[in-house]
Amino acid sequence: MESASINDDGRARPSAPMSMPSIAFRRISSLFSWSCCSSSPKKSEDGYVEFGQNDYGREGGGSRTLGTFAGVFSPVALSMFSALLFLRVVMISRTLGPEFGGSIGTLFFLANVVSSALYIVGCAEGLVENFGPNGYLVIGGLPIPDSPWWRFTYCSILNLINLVVCLFGAGMFAKISVIIFIIVCLSLSSVMASFFLVSPMEIPIPYANALIQNSTHRVNASYTGLSWDTLSQNFYQGYTADYTSGGQITDFAIVFGVLFSGVTGIMAGANMSGELKDPGKSIPWGTMTAVLFTLISYLMVSFLSAAACSRLLLTNNFMYMMPINIFPAFITIGVLTATFSASLSNLIGSSRVLEALAKDNIYGRILKGITAGVHNGNPVAAVITSWALIQLMLFYDSLNEIAQINSVLFLLSYFATNLACLGLELTSAPNFRPSFKYFSWTTALMGLLGTVIMMFVINALYAVSSIVLCFLLVVLLHLFSPSSQTAGWGSLTQALIFHQVRKTTSFADFMLHLQVVEPVLLLWLFEIKSSFNPCVLVRKYLLLLDSRKDHVKFWRPQVLLMVRNPRSCTPLVQFVNDMKKSGLYVLGHVIVEKEFAEHEVDPTIQLNTTWLSLIDHLKVKAFIELTVAWSVREGLNHLGHLAGLGAMKPNTIVLGFRDDHEPIDFFQTIGSDYMTDKFDRDGKAFEFEGNQMDANEYVSCISDVLRMKKNVVLARNFQTYSKAQISVNRLIGNNSKESAITFLYLDPPPGNDDASQLYLGALSELTSNLRPTLLVHGIRAVTSTTL
């Protein structure tokens, strides 16, 4: 056979021998050699780790032992060198609910099963094509039979090895992953070194490339070594036909679909949070350094390939790195370990997804046996089930068509993640405090839209099919899943409704207080379109709120601040307004009146307008609740039970501290931020009165609040509170030991009334000479370890 060389300078160079591998193996190999010289294992760490692992019910939970490198950097780097990464079902389910999380979890369980089978087939083909008859690496081949059933046997053996590794647990998987990580790094290093050490040569175009006629005259392409001329020729894009897919013309969507799999590992470190010593530090640092490491690797290999290989070689021989490598076996080893590790990580990943679906009771009794078959924290039953489904998929010999489905499904998971973050941000959920300073609802929305767009760019049919299937599962799970009625994860929908009620109520209050438009005219305009009527919207949303669905994740302070005289309480009123964080805020006042029947008009009606003017003056977002009672204690019970509406009722009651300090009139104090004379024009409003409660009654009020199962807060020394001091406090930071606000635990009051004076004396001594202080006693936990 004659050898003809096609190159730019026409000079003959020595040719490297070439045999004919299969198309399927070339595709898998190209991920290793073309994308980054390593399609390394998809790191799945412990496979699946939930927050609050011990509380969630996993048996045999271990201690946190992993640092930044082992726990985050290595998993993220390995995952980003590989093709796929399984879904973090718990994080999405706990935020969006069991229906949405369960549907996506189901799709990704199937995607991982199919993906594992795909990589097993690729690994088996790699063995045959490199070591079998007409072996690519071993000339003449080893005595390895080759036929469809023999390949199925090889696949079954590889699948069985995966099963054994996974049955030994995550520890064995982690050890194997470390070995594979070292192999991949060695392969990558050998590739980069080869570009500098190997002299120019001619590399034959493989026989499998039917786009170039080389059956009678063998066609070669040039490896020029590092050259500015070669780099300039390859610098710009030039989509051509793909010889591995029957001459299909490539485009941006196809290239993106191949490269996208290289960045799916960005969440691998977050998946290890349950095993990290310091997740708050390790996850951001480990993730960013791993991303930077893989980015540099991708760019270096791409740049060196473009500078050393002719365009003809790059587009017509996807295994070009094997003949130019100083040790060609490194490429084969890298491809085989990458495909084997990817299949292994998909098996352990699919088993953890299945375990999560079973633990969450998504499918009820159907998956009940999965939760029972757990040994030392390893979901044996889930592993065996996943292995069996993968074994069934090995009978299907056209798995390459599923690759794009996997990419679409992983984009769907990122869509769900962005949707969850967007929902949490829009609800202003207090439990959602991202430390990434550039995060906002706009970035979450951009990520959400970007994932949807790219799903359709990769394959519109698969995108539509996956979305339709996802929402079909959502409907079915909503109707039939036991977890949709029993899961106590907190409802993002309820948080959104609460947020909408609060905003709509504020808007209605604003509209009704407008001076330029008569309220009657506003009501007439609202009647034109009742859906625009804020009163109608508030009623609609209030009926949708369900107090039985309250959850600590979306807990926010819904504060009732008891105010005796706002003249001396304005700093505290302002502080609680800043502290409520998009929650409910009610100012409560008790008019102590022994003979209510002697009044012709309810005194609360006369005072309501004055209190509304107070809100306008202080510029706080609060509601007013006034009541008439024989004593402050009785009035507090009225307000504690009746303030609010529906599910929007106070859960925290703030009381001023009872002491003998002379009250300060902030409306008349020169230099006060609250100074005004508007409440003195028509007779002095909010007159100072003597102390209306003795020690026993005050302590009894605290006991009454706890009896209502509400949080109680005692505020002291807030006459010294100033926002300007907080600004100074932020500036001086570590240079001052004084804090702007002090939070202390409030012990419950004694059951004996005789001890009330001693109880107040102890609190007075505790808070004496302190800065503004809040003594807080909560009635339930305010943290959640199970998302």
Query: Of the ranges 152-156, 437-441, 774-778, which is most confident?
Result: 152-156
Helix axes 148-167, 170-197, angle to 10 degrees: 120
Tokens representing 314 are 């790059």
602 alpha carbon, distance to own chain's centre: 53
| Residue 218: closest CA among 230, 208, 207, 226 | 207
Name the residue with higher pLDDT: 630 or 279.
630
Q: CB within 8 A of 693, min separation 6: which ones?
A: 631, 632, 633, 658, 701
Name the residue with higher pLDDT: 691 or 84.
691
Distance between CA atoms of 76 and 181, rounded to whole angstroms? 11
State pLDDT tens for residues 363-407: 888 888 887 777 777 788 988 999 999 998 888 755 556 667 777
Distance between CA atoms of 622 and 602, rounded to whole angstroms? 22
The pLDDT of residue 608 is: 86
Residue 15 clears pLDDT 80, i.e. is over it: no
Across residues 30-51, what is the average pLDDT?
A: 35
Q: CA angle at residue 173 from 288 to 37, to 5 degrees?
A: 55
The pLDDT of residue 645 is: 80
Q: 266 burial class (0-12, 13-18, 19+ CB within 10 angstroms)?
A: middle
Confidence of residue 140 (pLDDT cuts 50, 70, 90): low
Name the residue with higher pLDDT: 643 or 89.
643
% of the chain beyond a pLDDT of 70:
70
Across residues 357-364, what is the average pLDDT?
A: 82
Name the residue with higher pLDDT: 571 or 689.
571
- Mean pLDDT score of the chain, rounded to an integer? 74
The pLDDT of residue 266 is: 66
The pLDDT of residue 228 is: 92
Q: DSSP 3-state assignment of 154?
A: helix
DSSP, residue by residue, 663-680? P--TTTSTT-TT---TTS
Across residues 648-656, what is the average pLDDT?
A: 91
Across residues 82-99, what is the average pLDDT?
A: 52
Name the residue with higher pLDDT: 273 or 6.
273
Decide: 645 and 706 in contact? Cβ < 8 Å. Answer: no
Residue 46 clears pLDDT 80, i.e. is over it: no
DSSP H helices, 309-367, are: 311-316, 321-324, 329-359
Across residues 691-719, what is the average pLDDT?
A: 88
Name the residue with higher pLDDT: 423 or 243.
423
Q: CB within 8 A of 593, min separation 6: which ones?
A: 599, 603, 628, 629, 630
The pLDDT of residue 724 is: 60
Name the residue with higher pLDDT: 499 or 698.
698
Residue 559 clears pLDDT 90, i.e. is over it: yes
Helix (H), strand (E) at residue 219: strand 217-223
Across residues 19-47, what is the average pLDDT?
A: 36
Least confident of 27-36, 170-179, 543-552, 736-745: 27-36
State pLDDT tens for residues 532-547: 566 666 677 777 777 7
Confidence of residue 33 (pLDDT cuts 50, 70, 90): very low
Domains of the chain: 2-486 (1.20.1740), 492-544 (no CATH), 555-777 (3.40.50.620)
Across residues 295-301, what is the average pLDDT?
A: 86
Q: DSSP 3-state assignment of 622?
A: coil
Residue 446 clears pLDDT 90, i.e. is over it: yes
Residue 142 clears pLDDT 70, i.e. is over it: no
The pLDDT of residue 112 is: 78
Residue 713 clears pLDDT 90, i.e. is over it: yes
The pLDDT of residue 711 is: 92
Residue 52 clears pLDDT 50, i.e. is over it: no
Q: Judge if pTM exceeds 0.75.
A: no
Q: CB within 8 A of 39, min separation 6: which ones?
A: 28, 31, 32, 81, 82, 83, 334, 335, 338, 339, 342
Tokens representing 155 are 């696949």
Torsions phi, psi for 164 (to 5 deg) = -60, -45
Tokens 């706002």 found at: 566
The pLDDT of residue 516 is: 42
State pLDDT tens for residues 743-769: 788 888 887 777 788 788 778 877 777
Across residues 19-28, what is the average pLDDT?
A: 38
State pLDDT tens for residues 153-171: 889 999 999 898 888 866 6
Across residues 205-232, what is the average pLDDT?
A: 79
Across residues 287-308, what is the average pLDDT?
A: 85
Within 10 A of 630 (CB to CB), how many other CB atoms are there? 13
Distances (CA, A) of 18 to 138, 203, 245, 323, 498: 11, 8, 20, 8, 68
State pLDDT tens for residues 481-504: 777 666 566 666 777 777 777 766
Residue 187 clears pLDDT 80, i.e. is over it: yes
State pLDDT tens for residues 721-746: 876 655 544 443 444 356 677 778 88
